[in-house]
Amino acid sequence: MPYTQPLVVEPEGEAVEAPMTRAERRDQQVMRILDAAKSCFVRSGFQGASMHQICAELGMSPGALYRYFPSKEAIIEAITEADRSHEAEMFAAMGENPNVIDGFVNAAMGHLRYIHESGNAPLFTEIRAESMRNEAIQFTCHQSMGEVQSSFRDYFEAAISRGEIDPCVELETILPVLMAIGEGLAINDLPSKGVSLDRVEALMRVTMEAIFRPKRKLHETA
């Protein structure tokens, strides 16, 4: 999202842009670099895109770019870190939902919509492919995915302890399977292939009900 400077109202009533702080200018420059790098990675692949190519995309000298990021791996790490703010919002919404199945499905669908609407599916695919041969990228991906899986584990373990669900198998099996399915859905970007996310959501909901076997409340069975 492009940075917009705040407006300051002068005594005469005329609104003017307030000068950016050094930190704000740095954040703006970092976002420009990340956006340019994403374009290069999608267009040329991680291996094909060079730091010089990213510089050309930006109109920035190599010396200036290296002051922000020493390598392509560092750029990928920053891209992954930026996505964590979206994930934090997803987990917060999930935890606030009183229905454990609804909470998970709504959060998962929100993530899929974000991937589709942001156009990040090709980039996500490229990063995952590179993680198979690049240990630094692999570490970043595994760390990020591990944090997501850990959040899901805490979420479902709490529901089990409250007696809300009765999973058909242990979480040690369920969680990696769910992560693999979610990754596949994100990479394939089904809406771009004409598959309705509403239908995906209906299928996901039925699947989650079957896996976690939510227990009906006493007042629902009366």
Measured from the Cβ of residue 46, the count of other Cβ atoms closer than 10 Å reads 22
CA dihedral 126, 177, 205, 183 (to 10 degrees): 0
Dig out the tokens for 173 from the structure: 């099996």
| Per-residue pLDDT, 86 | 72
Q: Which of 177, 172, 160 is nearest to 213 (CA)?
A: 160
- Give dist(CA 153, CA 175) in Å, integer: 7
List of domains in the chain: 1-70 (1.10.10.60), 73-221 (1.10.357.10)
| Per-residue pLDDT, 174 | 97
- Do 17 and 5 form a contact (C-beta atoms < 8 A)? yes
Residue 8 β-bridge partners: 16
- Which helix H or strand E contains 9, and what residues bound it? strand 7-9
- Give dist(CA 145, CA 149) in Å, integer: 6
- Do 87 and 48 form a contact (C-beta atoms < 8 A)? no
Q: Which of 150, 87, 167 is nearest to 120 (CA)?
A: 87
| Per-residue pLDDT, 22 | 82
Dig out the tokens for 109 from the structure: 């669908």
Note down pLDDT in tens along the chain; length 222 residues.
444 455 555 555 555 566 778 888 888 999 999 999 999 998 998 889 999 999 999 999 999 999 999 999 999 989 888 777 777 777 788 888 989 999 999 999 998 998 999 888 999 899 888 899 899 899 988 988 888 899 899 999 999 999 999 999 999 999 999 999 999 999 999 999 999 999 999 999 999 999 999 986 434 444
Dig out the tokens for 199 from the structure: 């239908």
Q: Who's near 76: CB < 8 A, 6+ residues apart?
A: 46, 127, 130, 137, 140
- Give dist(CA 194, CA 82) in Å, integer: 29
